[in-house]
Structure formats: structure tokens, C-alpha cells
Amino acid sequence: MALNALPDQAEKRAAVQTMFDRIAPRYDRLNRLISAGLDQSWRRTALDAIGVGTGDRVIDLACGTGDLAEQSALRGASVLGVDFAFEMLRGAQRRGIRANLLQADGAALPFLDASASVLTCGFALRNFVALDEIFAESARVLEPGGRIALIEVDRPRNRLFAAGHSFYFDRVVPVIGGLLSDRTAYAYLPQSTVYLPVEAELLGMLEAAGFEQVEKRGFLFGAAQLITGVRSKIR
């Protein structure tokens, strides 16, 4: 994948997988630095919003090195982290994340229908090839009444914040990423927000997949977003 170039849909899956395998060793440190530690509080808010706790069977989709999976486990839930990048999973294992880990593609989850009560996904929507397939699989593996929480970066709407955010996200982040990890990857990450559908379309896709009570809220003046919903009881 060339710098300042997004892979086309055909090559995106392999490009994303290779990229995350490459940046896995420094992924957590960079996350904390780039978000000034806010990413962890956004994860906590997401789990509060859908009430994750003891007795829940959680699938953390695209779990990476396990930040969200670990927070669910600390709340007493039984957690299975799924990711297609082996090195990210290895990072989670090295950290001793209290979750089972499985290498699989989010578009074809190797789980029975209605086998989970919660599905979480942190900062991965823009990396998927086909969101409708991901949402359909998420709905399939969730029991009726099961909850979903999706965290993703966003672009602030306020012009002032948007300008500051764009400077930081599009210019500063690739430099920090280049110095401490991999410039190509940290140039891709801000650019990849173009893969995200606009709000109405994104929420509509979740409803079409079988979710209700679908809601979006923003973090940090719209720099990140949390989408929650409930698996419809009618299949």
C-alpha cells in the first residue's frame, strides 16, 4: 500500500491485515499517545452505555490487542476476542488479556446463531471491506435483545474544531506514527475515515441488519463516535 493511497476494495482486506500485523508491537502505545489516553475512557463509556457485566457473553469483534475485551472481562463478562491479524492477537496474549482469542474474519464469524449477549467493536468499522456483511454477522451471532456497541473515530461538524482536528489527525498523527511506528500506516488511518458512510446511512445499515434503538453519540466535540443498538427480538 503506497503512502497517501487508500487500497481499493479488492485489495483492502489483505492490505489492512498486513498493516495491523506490522504495527501491532507499538499499537497500544501509539493509541494512548494519539488520543491523549481518551481512547480508554471512550471504551469504558461504551460498555457503561450497554451495561456490560457479569453473566454477559461478549464477542469483541476486531479486538486487536484487547483493550475493549479486557475492560469487559474486568466487569465479570465472559469474553471472546476475534481479529484477523495474528500479530494483534499475539499482542493481546502477551498482555495477558482475560479473554479467549480467536483469529477469524468479522464477515464470517465461526459462531452459532444467537450465541452472544453482547457484541463490541472498537475503532474498526473503517477497516472492514463490507459493513453490511459485518452488521449481518453481528446480528446473527447476537441473541434477541442482545446489545451492540461500536466505537469509531469521526470528523467534528463545528468548523473550528473540524479545522483543528483535521490538522492534528491528517498532519500531526502521520508524523508521530512515522517517528514511533510506521508512517504509511499512520497516514492510512486518518485517510480511511472516507470509508465510513454518513451517519444516517450507517445507522440505517444497522437497522436493516436487524437492530433497533440504534443511537449515536459523540465524544470530544465529534472526534469520535459511539453507536449502540439492541438486536431485534424478531428474526
Ligand X SMILES: C[S@@+](CC[C@H](N)C(=O)[O-])C[C@H]1O[C@@H](n2cnc3c(N)ncnc32)[C@H](O)[C@@H]1O
Cβ of residue 92: shortest distance to ligand X, in angstroms?
9
168 or 195: whose CB is closer to ligand X? 195
102 or 203: whose CB is closer to ligand X? 102
Which residue type sits at 232?
A: S
CA pair distance 227, 22, nearest whole angstrom = 28
Cβ of residue 121: shortest distance to ligand X, in angstroms?
7
Q: Which residues bind ligand X (CB under 6 A)?
A: 16, 20, 62-64, 67-68, 83-85, 88, 105-107, 122-124, 127-128
Cβ of residue 13: shortest distance to ligand X, in angstroms?
6
99 or 206: whose CB is closer to ligand X? 99
Q: Strands 100-103, 78-83: parallel, antiparallel or unpaired by DSSP?
A: parallel
Chain position carrying cell 489516553:
37
Cβ of residue 189: shortest distance to ligand X, in angstroms?
7
**Helix (H/G/I), strand (E/B), else coil: 196:** coil
Instruction: Please enumerate in sequence order all residues whose Cβ is within 8 A of that of 62, keeping only pairs 6 or more positions apart, or say none.
Output: 82, 83, 84, 106, 121, 122, 123, 124, 127, 128
Signed CA dihedral, 15, 142, 49, 94: sign only: negative
91 or 210: whose CB is closer to ligand X? 91
